């Protein structure tokens, strides 16, 4: 079972990916996580990635693909995996297809999380994080019992820079330009399933139902 979760930042992909991992016992592959792991390994590739990231530049696609190739060859991926937010653009999608052909394995489904940008701005701009224990809150959906104070450790809550409205707008513009075209790309390959992502619980249940149908 090899899956891709696509959708705008704040669309709930990460939350659903964790539920799918628990339900089907397959790992999540997030490019951000595996790039950080590569840096931690301090090998030749990791040092190259660290130098690029330190400059604030994007890691080139060929390096991302090299790291992904090594990751999906690992033992825990033999029964499948979940790509969270990858590929990010058409070029990466083409590279992934070439890699799949090389390894003789193929993506089963691409789930596209459909959600209005106005809802994402509302979600993310109301997100607050505890400085001490990093617990997430949402002032609309999941507010703390006491203003600006963590329920768990009484730490101070703050708004991350990338959760400020102007930053969110920029991230959504980048998504619309680079990643949204993948919806058409995967629809043409008959892999696409569009999921209503307004509620992450409903998104998970919809995906779970489709995946359980694979084994009937």
Domain boundaries, the chain: 2-26+79-214
Is 144 strand, coil or helix? coil
* Centroid of chain to Cα 105: 21
Q: Give the pLDDT band of residue 7 (cuts 50, 70, 90).
A: very high
In Å, what is the CA distance from 138 to each residue of 49, 159, 163, 216? 33, 10, 11, 39
Catalytic residue among 71, 123, 127, 128: 127
pLDDT at residue 23 greater than cutoff 90: yes
Q: What is the rounded distance in angstroms from the CA atom of residue 135 to the CA atom of residue 43?
A: 32
Q: What is the rounded distance in angstroms from the CA atom of residue 62 to the CA atom of residue 68?
A: 10
Report residue 127 as tokens. 């997100």
Is 54 strand, coil or helix? helix
CATH superfamily of 2-26+79-214: P-loop containing nucleotide triphosphate hydrolases (3.40.50.300)
pLDDT, residue 117, reads: 92
**Is 54 an annotated catalytic residue?**
no
**Is 160 an annotated catalytic residue?**
yes
27 Cβ partners below 8 Å, 6+ apart?
Answer: 21, 76, 77, 81, 82
Nearest to 39 by CA among 69, 58, 67: 67
Catalytic residue among 18, 21, 171, 187: 171
Catalytic residue among 2, 71, 88, 128: 88
138 Cβ partners below 8 Å, 6+ apart?
Answer: 123, 126, 127, 128
pLDDT, residue 47, reads: 86
Q: What is the rounded distance in angstroms from the CA atom of residue 65 to the CA atom of residue 83?
A: 13
Share of the chain above pLDDT 90, in %: 55
The total of other beta-carbon atoms located within 10 Å of residue 193's CB is 15
**Is 127 an annotated catalytic residue?**
yes
Q: Give the pLDDT band of residue 92 (cuts 50, 70, 90).
A: very high
Is 110 strand, coil or helix? strand
Q: Give the pLDDT band of residue 200 (cuts 50, 70, 90).
A: low
Catalytic residue among 41, 73, 160, 184: 160
CB 86 within 8 A of CB 168: no
In Å, what is the CA distance from 209 to each residue of 60, 68, 189? 36, 28, 21
β-bridge pairing 109-114 and 81-84: unpaired
Q: Give the pLDDT band of residue 70 (cuts 50, 70, 90).
A: confident
Report residue 45 as tokens. 């590739």
Of 52-56, 161-165, 190-194, 196-200, where does the model show the most confidence? Answer: 190-194
- pTM here is 0.83
Q: What is the mean pLDDT of the chain?
A: 89
Q: What is the rounded distance in angstroms from the CA atom of residue 216 to the CA atom of residue 213?
A: 5
Catalytic residue among 13, 71, 123, 128: 13
pLDDT tens per residue across span 118-177: 999 988 899 999 999 989 898 988 899 999 999 999 999 999 887 888 888 988 998 899
């Amino acid at each position: 079972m090899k899956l891709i979760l696509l959708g705008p930042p704040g669309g709930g992909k990460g939350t659903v990916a964790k539920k799918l991992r628990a339900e089907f016992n397959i790992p999540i592959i997030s490019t951000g996580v595996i790039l950080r792991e590569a840096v931690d390994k301090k090998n030749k590739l990791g040092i190259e990635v660290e130098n690029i990231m330190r400059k604030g530049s994007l890691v080139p696609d060929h390096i991302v693909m090299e790291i992904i190739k090594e990751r999906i060859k690992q033992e825990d991926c033999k029964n499948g995996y979940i790509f969270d937010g990858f590929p990010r653009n058409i070029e990466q999608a083409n590279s992934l297809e070439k890699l799949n052909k090389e390894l003789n394995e193929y993506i089963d489904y691409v789930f596209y999380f459909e959600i209005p940008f106005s809802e994402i701005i509302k979600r993310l701009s109301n997100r607050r994080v505890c400085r001490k224990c990093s617990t997430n809150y949402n002032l609309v959906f999941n507010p703390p019992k006491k203003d600006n104070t963590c329920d768990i450790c009484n730490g101070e809550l703050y708004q991350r820079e990338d959760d400020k409205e102007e930053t969110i707008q920029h991230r959504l513009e980048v998504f619309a330009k680079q990643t949204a075209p993948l919806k058409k790309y995967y629809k043409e390959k008959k892999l696409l399933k569009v999921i209503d992502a307004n509620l992450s619980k409903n998104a998970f249940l919809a995906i779970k139902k489709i995946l359980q149908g694979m084994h009937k």
